[in-house]
Structures are given as C-alpha cells and as structure tokens.
Amino acid sequence: MKRLSTAALLIVTATFCASASPINIEFPQTVYDVLPGELVDVTAILQNTDPNDPVYLNGDDLNVPESASSTDFFFTNVPISLNPSASTATIELFSFVVSSTAAPGTYTGTYDLFGGVGTADQYNFDLVGSQSFSIFVAPEPSTMLLLGCGLMAIAAVSQRWRRARCK
C-alpha cells in the first residue's frame, strides 16, 4: 500500500511540475501607491524560462479594479515570441488611472499572458505567464487637509469648553 501511495504522489508531483508557467513577468514593483486621477505606466521584463523551446505570445488579459480604467499595450509592445531562455528589455505593458471617486484602500489586479510553447503550439492560447499587483489608493491631499483642520477645530472647541467649565 505504501508503494502505491508513493507512486501516486510522484505522478501528482510530476503533473504539477510540468504545469509551471514558462514566462516570468517581472514588474519593477508589485505595489503602486497612487492618488485618485493619477496615471500610472506599468513596465515589466518578460523572460522565457524554458531552455529548449520558444514561447509564442498570442494574447493577454488585464484585470484592474472596477475603480480604475486601463490601456493595454500588448499588441504594440510585446514581441510575438521569445526564444529559449531569452528575455525582453523593459517594456510598457499597460497603464491605468484610478477614478477620482475611488475610496482609499488597497486593490488587486492581475496580468496574464497566453500563447503556446514550441513551434507545434504556436497558435495556442494556453496560460504561459501570470503576475498579480496591488494598487494602494491614498486619500487626496485636500481630504487629509480637511480632516486635519476638522480635528484641530474639535480640539480647540473642547479646550475652550474645558476652560469655561473650570471657571
């Protein structure tokens, strides 16, 4: 019985290892601190981790939060394929703008690449690379200024109230 479970574990492990993404997507940062309405250009380096086969890049899928709008530069900047163990220079993949009405907080997004490994699969749309990123939306400076002024006003009124009460 022990040999059977070990064999099953080896098969599952081999299947899992074979499904690794051949494209590594390296963002210079994975957390973007932005103000509402600010335009952010996202760049990356794409690297083919397969030492034997070229990887064909046939499409992408960009998921940004609902509070952001984006522009995808896949067809403009991403190469058609990457040779074995090759990488691109830094390229612009997409840009996004967070809505001016977005609530402060952290949002997540993903960028996926689709294609095929090897010349026989050059027209496939298999997932060949994926990377997630976070968008931290900071409050607008005017909101922080308004909050600070409000807190100072409350402190001044409470101090005045305490003085009047002590007399």
Task: Note the pLDDT tens digit of each residue in 94-113.
Answer: 999 998 888 889 999 999 99
Taking CB atoms within 8 Å and a gap of at least 24, the contacts of 121-128 are 121/56, 122/56, 122/81, 123/56, 123/58, 124/56, 124/58, 125/58, 125/59, 127/21, 128/21, 128/22, 128/23, 128/55, 128/57
The CATH classification number of 21-166 equals 2.60.40.10
Q: What is the pTM assigned to this prediction?
A: 0.72
Q: Domain ranges in the chain?
A: 21-166
* 122-154: pLDDT as tens digits: 999 999 999 999 999 887 665 555 566 677 777
